[in-house]
Amino acid sequence: MTRIAALLLLGLAAFAEAPLPDAAQEAEAQDLMRELRCLVCQGQSIAESNAEMAVDMRALVRERIAEGQEPQEIRNYLIRRYGDWVTFSPPARGTHLILWAAPLVFLLVGGALTYRLFRKRRV
């Protein structure tokens, strides 16, 4: 009985991974899947990952593409659901600028402090 259940689950998993019948839609889905990060693996896209979460996300992407949604709509939905981390190229926001500017600010402050320290020693 356990073998039958395992085979049934394996068959369902294979059905969930079936490509879309329309080649153009499948290509859109594949492009989007390569842009989305696996939340379990973190370093892989959902197209590459074998994690259960990635399998579910691939099925969701294919389902929504088949319904006629645009890839940007699906990406926005996943960002709202999982946060900016779900995409390899997160949208630019003001809070991100702080993260990019902080190293430069620290470098400038450190340089200014070092300059003052060495200037005092020379006099």
Residue 33 pLDDT more than 50?
yes
Cβ-in-10-Å burial (0-12, 13-18, 19+) of 58 comes to buried
Backbone angles phi, psi at 13, to 5 degrees: -65, -40
Write down the pTM of the prediction: 0.63
2-91 classified as CATH 1.10.3720.10: no
Sorted by where each begins, the domain ranges of the chain are 2-91, 92-123
Q: Give the side-chain half-sphere CA count within 13 A for 81.
A: 12
Q: What integer pLDDT is reported at residue 3 of this predicted model?
A: 66
Span 51-83, pLDDT tens digits: 898 899 999 999 998 888 999 999 999 999 988
> Residue 45: beta bridge partners?
37
Q: What integer pLDDT is reported at residue 72 of this predicted model?
A: 92
In whole angstroms, give the CA distance from residue 55 to residue 70: 20
Q: Which of 38, 67, 70, 42 is nearest to 55 (CA)?
A: 38
